[in-house]
Amino acid sequence: MNNIILNKVINIIKQINTSGIKINETKECNNIISTFYPNILNLVEEEKTISEFYSNNIGNWYARCNLEKNHYKFLEAYIIHKIGEVLYFYKNENLTSRKFLIHSTDCISAVQFLSRVNKNILNIFIRSSDAVNLLLADCLFGCKLLSKVLDEFNIKKNAEDEINIWITSCHFYDKDIKLVDNIIKNG
């Protein structure tokens, strides 16, 4: 299976399964960091493969996406608004500003956009993520978000662009151990 996002998430699930610590009906690893490079991602194919894998091994992909869509829409609108606001009100600022940072009280707690010479960076801080049921959707969202921000402000896409996702508590629930076994077996 040649799906970058799916393979990274499966590897995280394997890591949690083998070296995670038990806490409150879960098994978790802390401070998981994954980096994605949009120039090597085909997001249409990534999403198609993720959708098929999720639906065959975990549950209803479209129901999961529908459940998360309003949070993702909020984050997308908020970061685009923040960039536009800074560029409008702080006329001396440009796209290299460090002010392009938003916060949320949900699991995706912060998103920061940095535009640098020959490199655009989207940093996503996730305070907690269910690796089995939610992480695939969160990673796919993050990879799509950078593209949407760049398109919105007509910013050049570069070969060095990256999305960094930092998860402080990446876990799966004890009740999902059969799903974990199935993911590892079929991934």
- What pLDDT sits at residue 88? 85
Residue 101 · residue 110 · CB < 8 Å? yes
Residue 141 · residue 114 · CB < 8 Å? no
The DSSP line for 148-185 is HHHHHTTPPP-TT-EEEEEEEEEEEEGGGHHHHHHHHH
d(CA 19, CA 119): 34
| Superfamily grouping for domain 4-186 | Thymidylate synthase/dCMP hydroxymethylase domain (3.30.572.10)
Where do the domains of the chain lie? 4-186
- What pLDDT sits at residue 99? 81
Could you say which residues of the chain have pLDDT below 70? 1, 92-93
d(CA 76, CA 146): 9
